[in-house]
Amino acid sequence: MYNLLLKDLKLGVSPLFFVLPLFTGALMLIPGWLYLLVPMYFCWITIPNMFGGYKSQNDLMFTSMMPVTKKDMVKARVSVIVILELLHLVVAMIFGAVNLRLYADMTVYFFEPHPGFWGLCFAMLAIFNLLLIPMYYKTAYKYGAASTTAIAGAMIFAGVAQWAGIQSPYLADLFSGSGADNTAAQASLLLAGVLVYAGFTFLAYRMAIKRFLKVEIQ
- Tell me how far, at minimum, the Cβ of 51 lies from other proteins, in Å: 15
Rounded (10°) angle between helices 144-167 and 115-136: 160
Q: Is position 14 an interface residue for other proteins (rule: CB under 8 A)?
A: no
Count of residues that bind other proteins according to CB under 8 A = 20
Closer Cβ to other proteins, 143 or 200, answer by number: 143
- Tell me how far, at minimum, the Cβ of 10 lies from other proteins, in Å: 6
- Tell me how far, at minimum, the Cβ of 120 lies from other proteins, in Å: 37
Closer Cβ to other proteins, 9 or 172, answer by number: 9
What is residue 206's three-state secondary structure? Answer: helix
CB of 121 within 8 A of CB of 193? yes
CA 152 to chain centre: 13
- Tell me how far, at minimum, the Cβ of 9 lies from other proteins, in Å: 10
Say how many residues make up the chain: 218
Q: Is position 19 an interface residue for other proteins (rule: CB under 8 A)?
A: no
Please give the Cα distance from 46 to 103 (Å, whole number): 29
Taking the CB of residue 25, how many other CB atoms lie within 10 A of it? 23
Start-to-end CA span in the chain (Å): 23
- Tell me how far, at minimum, the Cβ of 42 lies from other proteins, in Å: 23
Q: Is position 216 an interface residue for other proteins (rule: CB under 8 A)?
A: yes
Q: Is position 138 an interface residue for other proteins (rule: CB under 8 A)?
A: no
- Tell me how far, at minimum, the Cβ of 2 lies from other proteins, in Å: 8
Measured over the CA atoms of residue 120, residue 124, residue 129 and residue 130, the dihedral's sign is: positive
- Within 53-112, which residues bind other proteins (CB under 8 A)? 57-59, 61-62, 64-69
Which region among 6-14, 33-41, 105-113, 121-129 touches other proteins (by CB under 8 A)? 6-14
Closer Cβ to other proteins, 3 or 183, answer by number: 3
Please give the Cα distance from 37 to 63 (Å, whole number): 34
- DSSP string for 179-196: GGG-HHHHHHHHHHHHHH
Interface residue list for other proteins (CB under 8 A) = 3, 6-7, 10-11, 57-59, 61-62, 64-69, 214, 216-218
